Amino acid sequence: MTDMPVTLAIDTAAPRLQLGLLRADGRADSLVDDVATGHAELLFERLAELLARNGLGHGDIARIAVTTGPGSFTGLRIGLSAARGLGLARKLPVIGVPSLLGLSLSASGPVAVLLDARRSEAYLQLFSGPGVAETPARLMPMVEAQAAVPAGYPLITEPFVDITAIARFAASADAADYPPNAAYVRDADAKPQTAARIARLGA
C-alpha cells in the first residue's frame, strides 16, 4: 500500500480552532478548541501538541490544507497566514478548501449547504456528492435560499467542518485547482480579489 502524504489541515473560519492531521498510514487525528478569538495565540502550540502525540515533526508534513471561507474575516486571515507561512518555509503545496465544499465532505450523497450569513442572508451551495459541486456558491436572501433547496436534499446548516475529512480531501487534491485565497463576500468586510469572491445572486 502506498503511503499517504502527511497532510495538515487548518480551520479558523468558524468560532473554533480545528487542526487535523492525516498520517502516512492513513489514520487521522485532530485537535479542536471552541474559541471565537485567540486563534493566533493557540494555533502553533496546538500544532506542536498534535504532531508530538503522533510521533511527527514539522519536517514530516508534506501538504497543508486550509479552509478559505466564507467565515470570520479575522479568523480566515489567521488560518491562511499560518498555512501560507508554513508552506513557504518548507516549499509545500497549500490547498485552499472552500468552507461550503468542506462541509459537504461529511455527506454520503447529494446535499445542500446553507449557512446563515446574517443580515437576513445565507450562503447556499448544492453538491451532488461529497466535494462535488452541483452549483456555484451563492449569497442570497435567507428566504430565497431556503426555497431553493431541492426536495430530498439533506441540509447542512452548522458551520463546523470535519477537519479530518478536509485533510483526506487535500491529500489528493490538485493544489492548482484549490488556491489558498480567502472567499470574502461583503465589500464592507474586506476588499478581495474578484476571483476569490462568492457570487451574489443577481450579480
Q: What is the pLDDT of residue 199?
A: 60
Domains in the chain: ranges and CATH:
7-100+160-200 (3.30.420.40), 103-156 (3.30.420)
Residues 6+ apart with CB under 8 A from 120: 141, 142, 143
- Which residue reads 502525540 in cell numbers? 53
Give tens-digit pLDDT for 12-22.
999 999 999 99
Q: What is the pLDDT of residue 10?
A: 98
Q: What is the pLDDT of residue 39?
A: 85
Give tens-digit pLDDT for 75-87.
899 999 999 999 9
Q: How confident is the model at residue 200 (pLDDT cuts 50, 70, 90)?
A: low
Mean predicted lDDT score pLDDT of the chain: 91
Beta bridge mates, 123: 115, 139
Q: Which of 75-79, 143-147, 198-202 has the highest mean pLDDT?
A: 143-147
Name the CA radius of gyration of the chain, rounded.
Answer: 17
Q: What is the pLDDT of residue 3?
A: 87
Give tens-digit pLDDT for 111-129.
999 999 999 999 999 999 9
What burial letters (b/e) apply to 30-58, b meaning 16+ CB within 10 Å?
Answer: bbeeeeeeebbebbeebbeebbeeeebee
